Chains A and B, each alone.
Chain A
Amino acid sequence: MRDTTTRVLIAQGLTKIYGSRGRAVTRALNNLSLAVDRGEFVGIMGPSGSGKTTLLNLLATIDRPTSGTVTVEGRDTSRMSERELALFRRKRLGFVFQDFNLLDSLTLRENMALPLVLDRQPPSLIRQRVEALAQRLGIQHVLDRFPDEVSGGEQQRAAAGRAVIHEPALVLADEPTGNLDSRSSQAFMEILRDLNESLNVTIVMVTHDPFAASYCSRVLFIRDGALYNEIHRGDGRQAFFQQILDVLALLGGGSGGH
């Protein structure tokens, strides 16, 4: 049963320790908690090594915390088996990766259709949804091309399409603009915002790019595996962008580029 409250994601006391007997131990996350409401667009920023990626992996359920819980739509993911988790990821989560992670063997249309195909939806419904979404993403003219044949921006937009087509509870984006030039980055962020605002898609995005983060409604900053600060967007993106830069300056250690 789907949780009807507005809280989509609750992470409680997440701790992740890497390393094992006899080896140096790294505490990547330290008792970190956060909550995301339905329809929110949350950014996560922090210097390299701050634990951003670890956090995202835990939220994405592709890694398990040493302690703490991740609850999505009221379901505690730490109690699910591998098989249940796979099914849960497929049905309730959407992913956008830095390197797009499209399957080279599928056209953009097929890549977008993948979650619905895995869900055994009827072909007519799939076609309808893919085409409507492609229109919104502005890639309807390249739908039947393969990833290698289109630009990075178009690939990332198709990836966004794949992430939202099955109406997941939560979309997780990992440095989605990391491999895009500034013009494509901007176009892509406009699209993410549009998905967030018009379709009420809930998005959690890890980024080191303050410009991309300025599209969020809220930005969390983490440092040394723990929450450092949090800012909400007020009026205007430009002002928010400036705020983000200010916090990053305080945070120090660079914004975690490559």
Chain B
Amino acid sequence: MSETVAVPASIDTSVPKNYLNHDKSIKSWLLTLDHKRIALLYLVTISIVFLVAGVLALLVRAELFTAGETLMKPDTYNQFFSLHGILMVFLFIVPSVPAIMGNFVMPMQLGAIDVAFPRLNLASYYIYLIGGVLVVTAILAGNIDTGWTFYTPYSARLGSSVIFMTLAVFIAGFSSILTGLNFIVTIHKMRAPGLTWNRLPLFVWSIYATSIVQVLATPVIGITMLLLLLEKTLQIGIFDPALGGDPILFQHFFWFYSHPAVYIMILPAFGIISDLMGVFSRHEVQGYKFVALSSVAIAFLGFLVWGHHMFVSGQSAISSIVFSLITYLIGIPTGVKVLNWVGTMYRGSVSFKTPMLYALSFLFLFTIGGLTGVALGVLGLDIHLHDTYFVVAHFHYVMMGGTVIAAIGGLHYWWPKITGKMYNETMGSIAAVLIFIGFNVTFFTQFVLGTKGMPRRYYDYQIQYEALHQISTVGSWILASGLFLVLFTFIHSLMKGKKAGSNPWGAATLEWTHTASPPSPHNFDEQPIVTHGPYDYHALARVSGDGAAQTSEPELSESRH
């Protein structure tokens, strides 16, 4: 919480009231209903999770520096990679962009004073926190070494800590469902006058698509975890073959959620990249309608491809073929999005500020992640590559090279709005480059390891893989130094950053044109009326950055709580 406390303290008292300084008591933070403050609560909590899970990743890589024992025993290693996965997936990447940036930015982009259900929003945060506490309990109870997939029967035979862990995932899932529900209603009901669906910023579109997936998929992981929990406590015998159950059924249930969950993780990143490409090219995002609707299409198609995680599991050949085919169909809209983003720069005015560096590195890394995904969808080839480091590299290119890079880019982009301070551009750019280099050194080598047959989740390995593992580990250090520099840049900005104007990037969306930096507690002094599209920089130039072309009476939310 140090960050949230430090912010109000550093603001000059002559500054007009904003959401950070209008009430400085701890209670006003912990019980806040303000979507911006809740976003900051998430930011701090999720950053801590990212730090812990990241350190675990570094330890895992360090252990793999040499074949045989380097630092730790096999059981410790197995627990570390499992915790890394569980924390990163369920407590970091699934909530990250929606809960932090979705919460902070989306209502403002809609011209709303808050989300539709502010109390539910706060409750979601505490439910997430309870999930986090249960994870810590499970870690203390020890012996979680199932990997993040909890495959039965292995997971059903482990100690009591699995109970806490599955319960944690179940509860964190509720937080995700409620956030998604809240956002869908907000986007439907709280748009400012004139903000038609065709004028929604693409970030809002992607949060909308994400929320649909959260609402539709998360209940299934909920029931799966509940059944696993009962399997463990009451031996109900649904998944455990020793009791007549079927472990493949668990995999179907698990991936029915966890594949759509991949879209929960990546769709918000698409939204950030769309906004960044538009703003820093000062140009209409190419194929706006396509980019917007393809997010929704991907959200639905994402429910039909779970079986491509199971080509070698023993499911029927016919299912594998069908799943492979649909997987390609989902690849195409994704590919077209990439081309649209590249096309946005065409005849634009491209600025290389730090957020844009992240957006460009997203395009580079995500393209690799996407293309290798297609390689994995090829039936005959997946047999060889399945469960090797090729898969590990692929999903890190998508999840980290995609989502995390986009999230960091987005955080730089909205940082002046969140804190009212600019960050140091030089430090920001150096960190972006370090992360880009470190990431590729770490994970590109893993593609090579994978094709050569190095299986994942191995504590020890054959000596022929050692050189590549060492390169990868060195890469992880470069990557980590880049990430720590990001942290330092932000802390530096909080202490010494220059004051930010209300619209430092010249963006055309409402959170920049109609609110101060940082915004007032109720975001807008008067109800904004939208007269142009989210990337219409000509309209923005006509009203000379002020934006408030027309105003009307401030209007309160129509919903009753």
Chains A and B bind each other: no
Chain B interface residues toward A at CB < 8 A? none
